[in-house]
Structure 1
Amino acid sequence: MILCCGEALIDMIPTVSTDGQTSFTPHAGGAVFNTAIALGRLGQDTGFVTGLSHDLFGQQLTQALAESHVDCSHVIHSDLPTTLAFVQLTEGQARYTFYDENTAGRSLTPDQLPDLPEAVTALYFGGISLISEPCAEFYAALAEREADGRVIMIDPNIRAAFVKDEARYRARLERMVAVADIVKVSDEDLEWIMRDGETLTEKAQLICAAGPHVVIVTRGADGASAIFAGGVTVDVMAQRVAIVDTVGAGDTFNAGVLAKLAEGGFLSKQSVTRIGPQEITEALAQGAAVAAVTVSRAGANPPWAHEL
């Protein structure tokens, strides 16, 4: 099982009514939620660790997870409200305003870490859940506890405007990167995280030196690269499609990568270091294919396996 660990929230997506007024429609979302949904739809045995509310939005999220065959047995429920993210779309590019104070997802603490079954072979972390405290420390503690026996993948999905204590956030990311096997970043993320290094490849190699076996760098329409600790680099082009919006693109890319690695038997602690250029090229290609379907339709609506 691949266990996705991070936020589930409601994306309030703008719509225009027949009289020209803008309103917002609630859609189930969140970076890690989107990855979990995509993995479930791709046929992977997928679980989810997050904090979910008993409120009407929490019920909407729970139903969406169930419909995409995601195991919610490790979800931590509470009566706190659900996080809301209001989305502004500019030429298809999404910008977010979060309402996240005292919510079910944000309020997780390290003393609530769940016991995991042996079936869990890999854990995936990312999104704003790595920024907001106390839940950020919950996820960091979970990654550190499980890293010796299970594959760890991280996509920090930087939201710089959301970071209130940059020093604490950077220190937490360093801790998590040090125990990660796979790190995925966008080119913008990498520029923010790594102050040293001239080029994106040099910056990625510096991250590799901190511990990960491979760093994946996405560059939007310019495709993605994978940089290994030994310096080998591979590139895969993005698929050309008509873009409706980019909501969930990176999240579903991650699901495609994880699904392909799982299909090849590389998501165990014993096999993850055997991922080489060929294996990562195939994984990046599937990630690009999954993301291409997602951006071709409104919102974070990942494809099912039969749609690829």
Structure 2
Amino acid sequence: MILCAGESLIDMVPQDGMFRPLPGGAVYNTAIALGRLGRQTGYLWPISRDPFGKVILRPLAEAGVITDLCPRTDRLTTLALVTLTNGEARYSFYDEGSAGRMLRPDDVGPLPGTVSAIFTGGISLVPDPCGATIESLIAQHHDRLPVMLDPNIRPFFITDAEAYRARLSRMMPMADIVKLSADDLDWLYPDMPAEDAAARILATGPRLVLLTGGEAGARAIWAGEPVHAPAIRTQVSDTIGAGDTFNAGVLASLDAQGLLTKDGLAGLGADQIRAALTQGAQAAAVTVSRPGANPPWAHEMPS
């Protein structure tokens, strides 16, 4: 089971001059996408008992995602007010004292033996106590379980950039796969070419550093020659959840190939990496073709 540990929230998405509440959150979106793609998936994040908590739980159940590890709380659900500029999403967060932000280590029980990999990232890594809790979870399990990390950096959410950079500098070496967008690289390494930045990260321990660039497609920096997969052309509705769905496509491909293990990732070849990047791009193309974070089901993917 691939365990997705990180934020869920309600995206308030503009529609006809008003805002439509849709469940979202970077790690949550990846969990939904993995479940829809037919992979055994678990989710770990506090779920509020407020009405939005039910909205968040419903798609998880529909996608077959296991939520046994999610603590329930009376704290409120995080809200993200979305604005769209030429289809690109920007966010304002209402998060102080929220259900997820207050996640503490004693809220996280022992991981069941069925957990075979962990995915994490997003804004869940930024504030404490939840950021420290997720970092501790990865520190406890990364020696045994493969980890994929997508920081999905939102600069306007970060109040202490130095502390967050320090957290990422501790967490990236614990990950087997690190995914970074062009925006992430601009924030982390503003004066460094993308592949040089990726090589620097790779040298700290990950097996794969994945670079995504929208229409430019995706690249993998690893021990061999860089691997590239083009973006899939489609009519873009908006980009909400695109990167999250890409992550799910990559993980689903590696899992289906039997490679989402420590040994499997250590022995990856270029063709296997290209297949994973391609499935990530295909899944993301479906998501951007329709409003909101609405990842594809397995039957909607190219055969």
- State whether TM-score is above 0.5: yes
Query: Deviation string for 1:74-129 (max 9, x for gaps)?
Result: 10110000000010011111000100010111100123332111211100001110
Is residue 179 of structure 1 aligned with residue 140 of structure 2? Answer: no
SS, match of residue 172 in structure 1: helix
Distance in 1, matches of 2:18 and 2:190, equals 40
Is the 2:238–2:292 Cα contact (8 Å) retained in structure 1?
yes
Aligned partner of 2:37 in structure 1 is: 42
Which residue of 1 is the match for residue 4 of structure 2?
A: 4
2:65 paired residue number: 70
Match of 2:117 in 1: 122
The answer to whether the 8 A contact 1:48-1:71 is kept is yes
1:270 is paired with a residue whose SS is helix
In structure 1, the residue matched to 2:266 is 273
Per-residue CA deviation, residues 58-89 of structure 1 (Å, 9 max, x unaligned), is 11101121011100001011000000001001
| Mapped contact 1:205–1:231 kept (Cα < 8 A) | no
Question: What letter is aligned with 1:146?
Answer: H
Work out whether 1:210 is the aligned partner of 2:208. Answer: no
C-alpha contact (below 8 Å) 2:102/2:128 kept by paired residues: yes
Output the TM-score relative to the length of structure 2.
0.97
Query: Alpha carbon RMSD of aligned pairs, Å?
Result: 1.0
Match of 2:20 in 1: 25
Offset, 1:300: 0.5
What's the CA shift for 1:231? Answer: 5.2
Letter of the structure 2 residue corresponding to residue 60 of structure 1: V
- 1:51 is displaced (CA, Å) by 1.1
The CA deviation at 1:195 is 5.2
Q: 1:62 to 1:5 in 2, by over 3 A?
A: same
> Unaligned regions of 5+ residues in structure 1, if any?
17-21
Conserved? CA contact 2:35–2:41, under 8 Å:
yes
Aligned: 1:287 with 2:280: yes
Find out whether 1:248 has 2:241 as its counterpart. Answer: yes
User: Does 1:223 find its partner at 2:217?
Assistant: yes
Please point out which of 146, 156, 179 is paired with 2:141.
Answer: 146
Matched residues in 2 for 1:13 and 1:191: separation? 26
Once the two structures are TM-superposed, the CA of residue 141 in structure 1 deviates from its matched residue by: 0.4
Residue deviations 1:218-248 (CA, integer Å, cap 9, x gap): 00111000001x3520111000001000000
Q: One-letter code of the match for 1:77?
A: R
2:292 pairs with 1:299: yes
* Partner of residue 19, structure 1: none
List alignment gaps of at least 5 residues for structure 2.
Answer: none
Equivalent position SS for 2:263: coil
Contact conserved, 1:32 with 1:251, CA < 8 A, in 2? yes
The number of equivalent residue pairs is 301
* C-alpha contact (below 8 Å) 2:69/2:108 kept by paired residues: no
Q: Any runs of at least 4 consecutive aligned residues in structure 1 with deviations exceeding 6 A, and if so which?
A: none
Determine the C-alpha separation between the residues in 1 that align with 2:224 and 2:40.
32
2 CA distance for matches of 1:88 and 1:282? 34
Whole-Å separation in 2 of the counterparts to 1:299 and 1:152? 27
Identity %: 51
Partner of 1:14: 14
Distance in 2 between residues matched to 1:115 and 1:69, nearest whole Å: 21
Secondary structure of the corresponding residue to residue 148 of structure 2: strand
2:266 is the counterpart of 1:264 = no
* 3-state SS in 2 of match to 1:301: coil
Query: 1:177-235: CA deviations, max 9, x gaps?
Result: 01100000002212221356x4211110000011101100000111000001x352011
Query: Partner letter of residue 215 of structure 2?
Result: A
* Partner Cα separation in structure 2 for residue 214 and residue 158 of structure 1: 19
SS state of the match for residue 217, structure 1? strand
Q: Name the TM-score, length of structure 1 as normaliser.
A: 0.96
Q: Secondary structure at the match of 2:42?
A: strand
1:74 aligned counterpart, secondary structure: coil
Deviates more, 1:266-275 or 1:150-159: 266-275
**Which amino acid in structure 2 is aligned with residue 68 of structure 1?**
A
Does the residue aligned with 1:271 lie in a helix, a strand or coil?
Answer: helix
Pick from 99, 103, 106 the counterpart of residue 101 of structure 2: 106
SS at match of 2:97: coil
Q: State how far apart, in whole Å, the 1-side matches of 2:85 and 2:104 are.
A: 36
SS class of match (1:71): coil
